[in-house]
């Protein structure tokens, strides 16, 4: 049998394209901002993870230019060998201080961070216990490890305890959860997770890709939000969202960081973050530390959007984060509504199975600290009109 047969027989994308409701790969022709030009037309951006709006901050942009002028365009090697810049070490030290952890290890992407952390920590005879709605990179990190993956129902602490009880006392256990779940915008039940981890001798890792810059004191994330910084063993995060760059990190103890640096294949065998990306992440972190009020502004705008969507008669999934999903239920309706909203001048993300249950499809809207109330009102009016909502 030809191994390409699956490719030749794949028709899902073509069928959606033929129906005129294909939602992917829309091309940006402008900066990632609250308003963008996409395929020749102005769109209000309600689908970005640029939560603090720092991708267009001129001072941060200038740091990228200066970094390229000083270091060139790339590092041409892994951190393990010739690819460590002085700036990488500076970023790790300042991020560790911000997150109140002993050490930080940076990776080339957020996705790679989960691959590199989980695959090096979880070995033969170990168990990794995952929330069913964890990010795909966590699942792939589990597959790359030599341990056994066990899943529990989303934010269901009774089910988590049931799974933990069934694991042999002799096994090492790592519980991994998103801090803020990327599609639903809800927050992990971290106090209960940490209590169960203590009860069953497990360690806790939080993927805070959507928590940094959003939750906690000055945007320090989910563990800080709950006052559990000393009980979460590993934070994973990314630079591609609140910090307006590209790359990822692990924040943890000195001992765990040193182990991962010398045992993580995705870390050892990948080129390091390019100078411009490293400089932007560092500058964005410094901006966040200097301006913690932007976290409050983001929270206020998110609350404004939640209230506004409800007042316009839209059914949303409630959250305390800048991720606000609007229920559309079945997949075809979701794709049609996303297209109509896009054509009317607003970009949102359709969320389909397997990211949701088959009849719980969503339009994922997300907000930035640089949005304005009038712009959000314009976008929400468009969405409500397309959805046929009644206030």
**Residues designated as active site:** 182, 210, 241
CB atoms within 10 A of CB 161: 16
248-252 and 103-107 beta bridge pairing:
antiparallel
CA-to-CA separations, 141 to 113, 247, 261, in angstroms, rounded: 9, 16, 16
Query: Which residues is 362 bridged to in the sheet?
Result: 327, 351
Strand (E) positions, 192-314?
A: 203-207, 234-238, 248-252
| CB-based contacts of 63-68 (< 8 A; 24+ apart in sequence) | 63/279, 63/280, 63/282, 63/283, 64/276, 64/277, 64/279, 64/280, 64/283, 65/276, 66/279, 67/275, 67/276, 67/278, 67/279, 68/275, 68/276
* Ordered DSSP codes for 244-278: SSS-EEEEE-HHHHHHHHHH-HHHHTSBPPPHHHH
- Length of the chain measured in residues: 391
Q: Which residue, among 212, 243, 241, 245, has the nearest Cα to 67 in the 3D structure?
A: 245
Phi and psi, residue 331, nearest 5°: -65, -45
Does the bond joining 354 to the residue before it have cis omega, within 30 degrees of 0?
A: yes
d(C-alpha 266, C-alpha 261), whole Å: 10
d(C-alpha 166, C-alpha 324), whole Å: 36
CA-to-CA separations, 40 to 26, 27, 29, 43, 103, in angstroms, rounded: 11, 9, 7, 9, 45
Phi and psi, residue 140, nearest 5°: -70, -35
Is residue 74 within 8 Å of residue 100, measured between CB atoms? no
């Amino acid at each position: 049998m030809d191994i390409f047969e699956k490719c030749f027989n794949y028709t899902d994308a073509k069928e959606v394209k033929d129906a005129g409701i294909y939602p992917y790969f829309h091309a940006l022709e402008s900066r990632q901002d609250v308003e963008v030009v996409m395929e020749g037309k102005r769109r209000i951006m309600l689908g970005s993870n640029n939560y603090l709006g720092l991708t267009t901050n001129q001072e941060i942009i200038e740091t990228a230019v200066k970094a390229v002028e000083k270091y060139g365009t790339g590092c041409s090697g892994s951190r393990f060998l010739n690819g460590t810049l002085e700036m990488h070490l500076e970023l790790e030290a300042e991020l560790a201080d911000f997150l109140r952890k002993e050490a930080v290890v940076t990776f080339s992407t957020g996705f790679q961070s989960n691959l590199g952390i989980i695959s090096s920590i979880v070995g033969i005879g170990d168990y990794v216990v995952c929330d069913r709605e964890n990010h795909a990179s966590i699942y792939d990190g589990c597959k790359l490890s030599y341990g056994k993956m066990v899943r529990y129902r989303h934010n269901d602490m009774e089910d988590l305890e049931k799974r933990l009880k069934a694991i042999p006392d002799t096994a090492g256990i790592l519980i991994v959860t998103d801090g803020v779940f990327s599609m639903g915008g809800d927050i992990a039940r971290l106090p209960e997770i940490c209590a169960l981890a203590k009860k069953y001798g497990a360690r806790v890792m939080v993927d805070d890709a959507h928590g940094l810059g959003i939750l906690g004191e000055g945007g320090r994330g989910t563990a800080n939000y709950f006052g559990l910084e000393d009980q979460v063993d590993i934070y994973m995060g990314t630079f591609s969202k609140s910090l307006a760059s590209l790359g990822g990190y692990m924040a943890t103890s000195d001992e765990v960081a040193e182990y991962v640096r010398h045992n993580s294949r995705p870390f050892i065998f990948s080129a390091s973050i390019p100078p411009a990306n490293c400089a932007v992440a560092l500058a964005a972190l410094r901006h966040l530390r200097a301006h913690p009020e932007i976290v409050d502004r983001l929270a206020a705008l998110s609350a404004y959007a939640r209230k506004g969507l409800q007042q316009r008669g839209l059914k949303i999934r409630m959250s305390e984060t800048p991720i606000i999903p609007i229920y559309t239920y079945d997949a075809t309706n979701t794709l049609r509504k996303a297209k109509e909203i896009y054509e009317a001048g607003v970009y949102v993300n359709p969320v389909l199975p397997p990211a949701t249950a088959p009849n719980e499809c969503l339009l994922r809207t997300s907000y930035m600290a640089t949005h304005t109330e009038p712009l959000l009102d314009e976008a929400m009016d468009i969405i409500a009109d397309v959805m046929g909502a009644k206030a």
